Structure 1
């Protein structure tokens, strides 16, 4: 077991935490210890932001543990969601359809065998060869080119994320290839243990949207403590004044964070929050 290591900020005004592999245990539950720590932080005047790659409709795992403002950053920064208002999307930073199509065409050429899914504000749809989403049985199945085409009315729902899967490449290898081939048109990252990439609008990330939300509240990066475990957390951990890689984190995440904490199974986020509150 590893105890948390990182200097505490003089003032903590906001805690930003990833969910899967970070705040959530492996069975997707939130432990009693973590529930208590989140509530204590908000009672002490510290805002808590859930910052995740999940879409808004998959936020039911933490809806019962929302306090205060109730906002969450979803889809790796592409959507800000009000968890108090039935997970309503209140802000969108979309991926332009022409940029998504560019990424699709590029990866079809550079990584044959790639398959795609398209996450809209209204739900997800995917190609026949894409691993099916058991949580989204009503999805449309069609080619990415068809899924990304505009409807006749010109009022198509915004694209918040393109997903790309490869059955043979390594996760980090697929990520490096995609960033080299198409990183000038979109932000490309990953959070899955498989070769599954998440593609957002250029410049859209957990970090950039968190920075916008903090600026609206007059909160500086130095007053933020962030937690994460996978490559899609790296920009956020680098931006925050104090950041923790989970004990189960990807090696690149450990290198990016200012400190480390326990694993998600050992309530690593709660352990740090408890220390912050004791220091007060």
Structure 2
């Protein structure tokens, strides 16, 4: 066998054999990846996503965002209407537009696990402030900085927010958020992973020292794998895109993966390829190539 220009040829018949199977699913992060810095979806990207689905390639948005922040892409979900939100904690159907999503799958965190994680982090970094993301919205401590003008449903000490008799107790916990005002983002991530250990999955997607904490085993990668298994799609038939540490596991899992030109160094190390930055339509560049390959 010999390789030439991205294909492998057999010495017996010299017919080209694709180096990769035809993609059946594109999995893309949003912020810093599919979206430009102004949070818009460029016309070129819209056209590329539509062309992919016309070619029979499903597109999944896989994001750390909660479902209520998905309005920016809800017009582009096309046939299946599904997106993976909260770093894998929920699969939502976005049909109907902003504010009308439906939870299809929830991979929540146990209340006792959340309290154990908070105890471990408080011991390691006492100035940490917490928020609790539930299916009904975000609730946080007074010291936690509100993000993206997203008003809290409740502001109270996190132990009260997680109390067994709380009015919120019937809403599944999708993830915890932890913020530290003095530590650097990567230092806080390393410290938290050491302190929390196997209790939960700790990652980050923000440029600030804001961590996102999910139930053990819950990540973008593991929930994407479940969705693909339900569809009979193999990892090698998936192409993934990302830019931040919360994308690393997904990029390693997918058969082909691309770090954005603006990606964190850990993401560059995890991906099998690179594309240009989000502001230069890096996802669209690769998707157009994939479609050209599929038509060849």
Q: Does 1:184 align with 2:198?
A: yes
Q: Does 1:80 align with 2:91?
A: yes
Structure 2: how far apart are the matches of 1:147 and 1:30? 36
Bigger shift: 70-79 or 124-133? 124-133
In 2 relative to 1, CA 152–77 (structure 1 residues): closer, same or farther, beyond 3 Å? Answer: closer
Structure 1: how far apart are the matches of 2:93 and 2:241? 21
Structure 2: how far apart are the matches of 1:151 and 1:92? 22
Match of 1:240 in 2: 254
Are the aligned partners of 2:160 and 2:166 in contact in 1 as well (CA < 8 Å)? no
How do 1:222-241 and structure 2 match up within 5 A?
A: 222-241=236-255
How do 1:90-169 and structure 2 match up within 5 A?
A: 90-151=104-165, 156-169=170-183
Q: SS of the counterpart of 2:249?
A: helix
Deviant stretches of 4+, over 6 Å? none
What are the Cα deviations for residues 59-112 of structure 1, in whole angstroms up to 9, with x where unaligned?
001011121111000000000000114221111000111111111111111102
In 2 relative to 1, CA 237–154 (structure 1 residues): closer, same or farther, beyond 3 Å? Answer: closer
Are the aligned partners of 1:150 and 1:156 in contact in 2 as well (CA < 8 Å)? no
Q: SS of the counterpart of 1:188?
A: strand
Structure 2: how far apart are the matches of 1:191 and 1:170? 13
Q: Does 1:257 align with 2:271?
A: yes
Q: Does 1:208 align with 2:250?
A: no
Q: SS of the counterpart of 1:184?
A: helix
How do 1:28-67 and structure 2 match up within 5 A?
A: 28-67=39-78
In 2 relative to 1, CA 221–108 (structure 1 residues): closer, same or farther, beyond 3 Å? Answer: same
User: What runs of 5+ residues in structure 2 fail to find an aligned partner?
Assistant: 1-5, 8-18
Bigger shift: 94-103 or 24-33? 94-103
User: What runs of 5+ residues in structure 1 fail to find an aligned partner?
Assistant: 1-5
In 2 relative to 1, CA 154–74 (structure 1 residues): closer, same or farther, beyond 3 Å? Answer: closer
TM-score (norm 1): 0.95
Q: SS of the counterpart of 1:34?
A: helix
How far the C-alpha of 1:279 sits from its partner, in A, is 1.4
In 2 relative to 1, CA 115–81 (structure 1 residues): closer, same or farther, beyond 3 Å? Answer: same
Q: Which has the larger radius of gyration?
A: 2
Aligned length: 275
How far the C-alpha of 1:136 sits from its partner, in A, is 2.7
TM-score (norm 2): 0.90
